Structure formats: structure tokens, C-alpha cells
Amino acid sequence: MAVSKTKPVELIQEAYDVGQRIFGENKVQDMAAKYEVLSKDIEWHMIGHLQTNKVKYIAPFASLIHGVDSERLLQEIDKRAAQNDRIQDVLIQINISEENQKHGVMPIGAVAQILSWSSTFQNIRIRGVMGMAENTADEGVIRAQFTLLKQLFNDINANGLTVDVLSMGMSQDYSIAIECGATHVRIGSAIFGPRNY
């Protein structure tokens, strides 16, 4: 997936013209604005932390919401999906680095929680899990965290819920993520160059 957050529509169009169809954004307003003006066959993925009061703006068109980590957010997504006559695909974010400032469900108990959520919401389909490794130069640490997420992904599949998306890896660590079994890598700066916030 090409992470196009902060990037102008002209650059997204350039990537589209050479065949890229999946783009990731982390701000609701930006994603909705870009959806309006760009080709309707683009798949828009929300990768940022989503606030419940903003779900309604992307509920009509979001292909996949990556950062879901609370029941309250699932309830809101379910409600808005129903209003739009859609089944919303989501990923549950797991806090694989177990850092306090990171979002996500803690790994312990995550599989049982996901299995329970998967049977609670009529208009949500949990497609898999998403995680971010610690920002460190220590490859062993990154590899251990991605391996943990792959293990949780396997455990979910072994316990009755079929999931097919394992979203992990960014520009700095995507090759390790692929070695560890990622089905989706989220690449921003390695495609579009550094971001100026």
C-alpha cells in the first residue's frame, strides 16, 4: 500500500498512472477530500488512529480501516456501516512493541478479544491485524515483534475466524516484515519522499 498522507493529489495521480491502486491516509478530512477528486477505483485505507466522531466521514467509501483498537470504535463503525448499507472491513491494531504511547490492543488476550468482537458486529468484517514495530536499529527487536504479530494472525485462523490481512512494515522495516509473513506493507517515504509536516 502506498501511504500518501500529507502528499498532494498530483503525486497520488502519478502513482495511480503507473498502476498503484491502494493508498493509505491517516487523517479523515484528507482522505475524504482526495477520494472526492481522484479515480473511484482507488482503494482508500485509513491507517491513522480514528476518532469515533469522525467515522461518519469515511464510512461511505473506506476500503479498509487499519487502526481499530476499541469496542467503542467498533460500535460506531458498525452503526455507520449499517447506515451506508455496507459491510466495513477492518483490522485490529495490536500494540506489538508494548510501548505506552502506541495505540492498539495488548498482545495478551488479543486473540480471544478479536474472536469475541468478530461475532458481535453485523456490519463489520475483521479481515486481520495491523501492527507497528518499535522505531529501533535493532533488527532482532523488530523481527521479534513482527513474529509475534504473525503468531497472533495464525492463532486467530486456528481458532475459527478466517483472516487474510497481516499489515506490518513501513519504509524502514518492510523487508523484515515480508520475511515474517506480512501480506500488506505500508510504504510512504520510500515511494513519495520525505514528508514535511
Ligand X SMILES: *Cc1c(COP(=O)(O)O)cnc(C)c1O
Q: To the nearest whole angstrom, how small is the minimum distance from the Cβ of residue 122 to ligand X?
A: 27
Full DSSP string of the chain: -EE-TT--HHHHHHHHHTT--EEEES-HHHHHHHHHHS-TTPEEEE-SPPPGGGHHHHTTT-SEEEEE--HHHHHHHHHHHHHTT-PEEEEEEE-TT--TTS-SB-STTHHHHHHHHHTT-TTEEEEEEEE---S-S-HHHHHHHHHHHHHHHHHHHHTT----EEEE--TTTHHHHHHTT-SB--BSHHHH-----
Q: Which is nearer to ligand X, 5 or 34 (CB)?
A: 5
Residue 5, interface with ligand X (CB under 6 A)? Answer: yes
Q: How many CA atoms, within 13 angstroms, populate the side-chain half-sphere of residue 22?
A: 11
Q: To the nearest whole angstrom, how small is the minimum distance from the Cβ of residue 6 to ligand X?
A: 9
Q: How many residues bind ligand X (CB under 6 A)?
A: 13
Q: To the nearest whole angstrom, how small is the minimum distance from the Cβ of residue 171 to ligand X?
A: 3
Options 12, 28, 46, 47; binder of ligand X; rule CB under 6 A: 47
- Do 28 and 54 form a contact (C-beta atoms < 8 A)? yes
Q: To the nearest whole angstrom, how small is the minimum distance from the Cβ of residue 39 to ligand X?
A: 22
Options 4, 26, 97, 145; binder of ligand X; rule CB under 6 A: 26
Cell numbers at residue 183, please?
Answer: 501480506
Q: Which is nearer to ligand X, 9 or 187 (CB)?
A: 187
Options 2, 3, 55, 180; binder of ligand X; rule CB under 6 A: 3
Residue ranges in 115-174 that form contacts with ligand X under rule CB under 6 A: 132, 170-172
Residue with cell 495505540: 103
Q: Which is nearer to ligand X, 5 or 162 (CB)?
A: 5
Q: To the nearest whole angstrom, how small is the minimum distance from the Cβ of residue 189 to ligand X?
A: 4
Q: Which is nearer to ligand X, 26 or 97 (CB)?
A: 26
Which residue has the closest beta carbon to ligand X? 188
Site for ligand X, rule CB under 6 A: 3, 5, 26, 47, 132, 170-172, 186-190
